[in-house]
Amino acid sequence: MTTARPQKLADYAPLVFPAVMLTVFFVVPFGIMVAVSFFRRVQGAFYEPDFVLANYARFLSVFFGEVLGFSLVLAALVAVVAVTIAFPFTYLLARLPRRRQVLWLVALLSIVSLSEVIVGFAWSTLFSRTAGITNVLVALGLMDEPMSLSPSFGALLTGLSYHAFPYTVLVLYPALARLDPTLMEAARTLGASPPCAFVTVVVPALRNTILATLIMVFVFALGAYLLPQLLGRPSNWTLSVLITDQAIYQSNLPFAAAMAVFLVLVSLALVGLSLLVGRKEAAQ
Amino acid sequence: MTRVTHGASRRTFLAGSAAGLAALATPSILRAADRTLKVGVYGGFFKDSFDKHIFPEFTKATGIAVESVAEPTGEAWLVQLSQAARAGVAPADVSMMSQTALLKGQAADLWGPLDLGKMKNTANLIDRFINRYPDGRVAGIGAVSWYITLVTNTNVYPEAPTSWAALWDPANKDRLGLLALVSNSFLLEVTAATFFGGTKALDDEAGQLKAFEKLAEVRPNVKLWYRDEAQFEQALKSGEIPMGQYYHDVTGLAAAEGHPVRSTFPKEGGILDSGSWAVSRASQALEEAHVFIDYMCQPQIQALMSRKVGTSPTVRRDLLDLTDAEFAAVSSDIPPIVPRYDLYLSRADWLNQKWTEMIVG
């Protein structure tokens, strides 16, 4: 590893490949999307190059405002639920013997390999009246008769949190594995119980990691468009679902692009805001 | 709009190519190799069935080889065809198009006009299956049709419902599965046919708003607004969602496999959706295309498709040799509810907005 600052143009050479990839596969498509969002929708056909604001104007309504608000709240809730479960889980995981850690990580990676469709169908079966978990509760005498739990907001939140959980663990794992064990030992020596030491020492020590993970899960959940259709009612549909409708079923690419641009801007603003808050707190 | 969810996968493409090579290897086709027609059909089940049961018969009868092309779903194929036509190329000579896509293509003058005089068998068709430009030129010919009907789980509903009005019955609270889009559920048409005397009631905005208002009353009964057919089919079979709208042919197949489901043609009629053959104006094989479409309009070919592909015939019933049971498996004598495709062109965005607000709000 070198800490020398780049001197010549050639020193920037290693950056060329990622820069080209980023331009070709991110900047250019995003630019096209922004351009299309200003095109003119032709009903009964497709769109024509133009510069109109109608697509954004259509979006600025109470209806879409509510859908956007719901999407943001849902994504934030998923982030909180996933991190709340994954953080203690990863902490315990990082303290297991090496061999068992590997087993857990392999299991988590195999969940990542499942497609959203399979996750959605599995949960809708688990939450069904005819074959779901309520049948187990009935057999145990805890419920009178089986009931259907899906589609509902709870089912959607569960599905999305489940889907985000392995990613959350994998993002938290390096930081928790590197955490200095003497921190805990010092806290214990000073008389703190393990849960108390975990909450007052480990969590604050990794505050920035937690914030970064929350943001990652938030953005991850914001893009969900399949699970809301499989596990949610129409009132639980996110903006991404409506974007898909416009792009694929209504052939209204300009409006879909405008909604997508709006979603990107709002989420970037929120991410920026939370980073700013995090930095301010760290400085104090 | 379109109902086929099977995408055009690499596998179907390879299978198609292999079949093409095998066909070329037979001597009878080699003679006719200079006369080839590229035919676009929905990839997956449709293309496989046509490749297996229909196209070989056509080649045997006419000496024209068919190169089948797997069409993507939605309107992507229309976009590809119209862009290629601008460059003077036709990715397929004849394509099976959904009604909305056909109308959109008409608006762009994409379809080469067809000559009914060269296709005697088109006289067999039911009138609604001839698509015309506003000036009377023929833009498309009905290829296949299919019904969306009222389906129920037989364990939950021992008696079959008789009317679409069952969707509004308060007793069916939280029990229905309905299609999630205004342009593929055709529920406005169903509402108009059931309560307002027919789809004419949707002619003006006042009528459309009245239908929306009436349709909003079914919301408490709907458990699932589905885009994915498999999700509803599974729930219907298990009884989780015991009533809804679904495809007549697939429901019949499921019942034949022993699942407790049934498809009923309500007294107001089933929803009749269809695909039409249309020829790209960039096609160089107009002559062969006419031969092909004429061939497909023969009663015995329509009967063959009903038996092998499960589609509803586009020719008059009295010309068909289908038994009552075979006919009932794919169609009904009750006059159908024909979707108002014109509305999904002229008022697409307004209808979509109202619809989304209705079901989400």
Chain B residues within an 8 Å CB radius of A63: 356-357, 360-361
Is B172 a member of any domain? yes
Q: What is the pLDDT, as a whole number, of residue B73?
A: 66
Residue B147 to residues A98, B61, B150, B274, B354, Cα–Cα distance (Å): 59, 30, 10, 8, 25
Nearest to B104 among A45, A246, A249 (CB): A45
Residue B33's pLDDT band, with cuts at 50, 70 and 90, is: low
Chain A residues within an 8 Å CB radius of B240: 128-130, 148
**Pair (B162, B279) in one structural domain:** no
Count CB-CB contacts under 10 A for residue B169: 15
**Pair (B68, B133) in one structural domain:** yes
Residues of chain A with pLDDT > 90, as a percent, come to 57
Res A250 pLDDT > 90: no
Count CB-CB contacts under 10 A for residue A121: 17
CB contact under 8 A, A41 and B349: yes
**Pair (B137, B233) in one structural domain:** no
Nearest to B225 among A44, A234, A242 (CB): A234
A227 touches chain B (CB under 8 A): no
When scoring B222, B227, B234 by the number of chain A Cβ atoms within 10 A, the one with the most, hence best to mutate, is: B227
Res A173 pLDDT > 90: yes
Give the residue on B whose Cα is nearest the Cα of A252: B349
Nearest to A130 among B225, B238, B361 (CB): B238
Q: What is the pLDDT, as a whole number, of residue B183?
A: 86
Give the residue on B whose Cα is nearest the Cα of A248: B74
**Pair (B204, B240) in one structural domain:** yes
Residue A5's pLDDT band, with cuts at 50, 70 and 90, is: confident
Is B1 a member of any domain? no
Residues of chain A with pLDDT > 70, as a percent, come to 96
**Pair (B152, B202) in one structural domain:** yes
**Pair (B307, B182) in one structural domain:** no
**Pair (B225, B340) in one structural domain:** yes
A219: closest CA of chain B, how far (Å): 23
Tell me chain A's radius of gyration from C-alpha atoms: 23
A64: closest CA of chain B, how far (Å): 9
Residue A185 to residues A182, A197, B47, B146, B292, Cα–Cα distance (Å): 5, 9, 68, 72, 83
**Pair (B262, B349) in one structural domain:** yes
**Pair (B130, B154) in one structural domain:** no
CB contact under 8 A, B346 and A43: yes
CB contact under 8 A, A245 and B352: yes
CB contact under 8 A, A250 and B352: yes
Is B5 a member of any domain? no
By residue range, what is the domain housing residue B279?
A: 10-145+273-330
Count CB-CB contacts under 10 A for residue A22: 12
Enumerate domains of chain A plus CATH numbers. Answer: 59-102+164-283 (1.10.3720.10)
**Pair (B16, B125) in one structural domain:** yes
Mean pLDDT of A172-194: 89
**Pair (B23, B96) in one structural domain:** yes
Q: What is the pLDDT, as a whole number, of residue B12?
A: 38
When scoring B185, B218, B224, B345 by the number of chain A Cβ atoms within 10 A, the one with the most, hence best to mutate, is: B224
Residue B184's pLDDT band, with cuts at 50, 70 and 90, is: confident
pTM of the model: 0.83
Chain B residues within an 8 Å CB radius of A230: 228, 231
Res A83 pLDDT > 60: yes
**Pair (B220, B340) in one structural domain:** yes
The number of distinct structural domains making up chain B is 2
A181: closest CA of chain B, how far (Å): 49
Res B356 pLDDT > 70: yes
Is B3 a member of any domain? no
CB contact under 8 A, A131 and B238: yes
CB contact under 8 A, A45 and B79: no
Residue-wise pLDDT for B258-269, tens only, equals: 999 999 999 999
Is B354 a member of any domain? yes
Q: What is the pLDDT, as a whole number, of residue B227?
A: 85
A130: closest CA of chain B, how far (Å): 6
Res A150 pLDDT > 90: no
Q: What is the pLDDT, as a whole number, of residue B8?
A: 36
CB contact under 8 A, A44 and B357: no
Alpha helix segments (H runs only) across chain B: 10-25, 27-31, 45-49, 55-62, 76-86, 99-107, 182-185, 187-195, 205-216, 229-238, 248-256, 286-296, 299-308, 324-330, 343-346, 348-360
Give the residue on B whose Cα is nearest the Cα of A64: B357
Cα–Cα distance for residue pair A255/A271, rounded to 1 Å: 24
Q: Which of A179-188, B182-191, B311-320, B328-337 has the lowest mean pLDDT?
A: A179-188
Is B2 a member of any domain? no
Is B162 a member of any domain? yes
The three-state secondary structure class of A18 is helix
Looking at every residue in chain A, the average pLDDT score rounds to: 89
Q: Which of A125-129, A191-195, B92-96, B188-192 has the lowest mean pLDDT?
A: A191-195
Chain B residues within an 8 Å CB radius of A237: 360
Chain A residues within an 8 Å CB radius of B183: 249-250
User: The dihedral of CA A46, A52, A53, A58: what is its sign?
Assistant: negative
Look up residue B197 and give its two tokens.
């005397």
When scoring A60, A236, A251 by the number of chain B Cβ atoms within 10 A, the one with the most, hence best to mutate, is: A251
Res B17 pLDDT > 80: no
Nearest to B348 among A44, A237, A245 (CB): A44
Is B226 a member of any domain? yes
B356 touches chain A (CB under 8 A): yes
Cα–Cα distance for residue pair A281/A32, rounded to 1 Å: 38
Residue-wise pLDDT for B44-85, tens only, equals: 778 888 999 999 999 999 999 999 999 876 677 888 898 899
Cα–Cα distance for residue pair A69/B107, rounded to 1 Å: 38
Q: Which of A83-97, A261-275, B318-332 has the lowest mean pLDDT?
A: A261-275
A162: closest CA of chain B, how far (Å): 20
CB contact under 8 A, B239 and A130: yes
Looking at every residue in chain B, the average pLDDT score rounds to: 88
CB contact under 8 A, A234 and B352: no
Number of H helices, E strands in chain A: 15, 2
Give the domain CATH number at B32: 3.40.190.10
Q: What is the pLDDT, as a whole number, of residue A31?
A: 94
